[in-house]
């Protein structure tokens, strides 16, 4: 089993990638999503779904049904990232790193959760920073025979090139994800998106 991860600038692309991963045989319980919520786009239940994630409920239990990925996502705050909408094993692992305190923070647990799952640490920093700057991360634990297909699905749905994004961040002076950094505001996120669209 291998962990495959994609960072998306657009939540809808991430949502579509998850749907395709499930359709090709990746169990919902093996998929996680973490999406920036600094703009407050998701107004979901701040406790029930978050508690399910903290208790280790899989993405199938937290998200459920054909209503799409938004149904039942839990809200939490990750230091250095800010408010996020999250579900699945990665959220449960990050939250578990701080004793299950969901609405309040995952105290830097996001990097540790990713590296423990097999994501290279330098990439984990880029993914966390990408979510901090307004992105959505999809992470799936995939059987070895499904890995090439899963990686292709993430690319097909516009996941960012991690090496290119790292270079972009480093060109601006970034050296790694900092859980003590100020949270990006919606205006900061718009400025980042505008520079990228030029």
pLDDT, block means (10 residues), the chain with 198 residues: 94 92 90 85 51 37 36 64 78 52 46 87 94 93 94 96 96 90 75 59
Three-state secondary-structure class, residue 178: coil
Are the CB atoms for 97 and 113 separated by under 8 Å?
Answer: yes
How confident is the model at residue 101, as a pLDDT? 39
How confident is the model at residue 180, as a pLDDT? 83
The model's pLDDT over 48-73, given as tens digits with 9 standing for 90+, comes to 333 433 333 333 333 333 334 433 46
How confident is the model at residue 114, as a pLDDT? 86
How confident is the model at residue 99, as a pLDDT? 39
How confident is the model at residue 2, as a pLDDT? 94
What is the distance between the alpha carbons of residues 68 and 78, in angstroms, rounded to a whole number?
24
What is the distance between the alpha carbons of residues 90 and 15, in angstroms, rounded to a whole number?
16
Q: Give me the residue spans of the domains in the chain.
A: 2-197
Which DSSP letter does residue 35 get? E
What is the distance between the alpha carbons of residues 113 and 125, in angstroms, rounded to a whole number?
12
pTM of the model: 0.77
């Amino acid at each position: 089993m291998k962990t495959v991860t994609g960072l998306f600038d657009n939540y809808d692309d991430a949502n579509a990638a998850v749907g395709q991963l499930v359709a090709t045989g990746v169990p919902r319980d093996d998929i996680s999503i973490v999406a920036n919520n600094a703009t407050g786009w998701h107004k979901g239940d701040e406790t029930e779904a978050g508690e399910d994630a903290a208790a280790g409920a899989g993405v199938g239990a937290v998200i459920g049904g054909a209503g799409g990925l938004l149904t039942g996502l839990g809200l939490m705050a990750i230091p250095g990232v800010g408010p996020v909408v999250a579900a699945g094993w990665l959220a449960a692992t990050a939250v578990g790193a701080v004793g299950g305190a969901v609405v309040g923070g995952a105290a830097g647990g996001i990097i540790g959760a990713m590296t423990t799952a097999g994501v290279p640490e330098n990439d984990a920093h880029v993914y966390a920073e990408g979510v901090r700057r307004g992105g959505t991360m999809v992470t799936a634990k995939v059987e070895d025979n499904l890995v090439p297909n899963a990686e292709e699905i993430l690319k097909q749905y516009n996941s960012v090139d991690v090496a290119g994004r790292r270079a972009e961040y480093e060109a601006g002076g970034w050296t790694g994800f900092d859980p003590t950094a100020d949270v990006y505001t919606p205006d900061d996120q718009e400025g980042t998106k505008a520079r990228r669209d030029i």
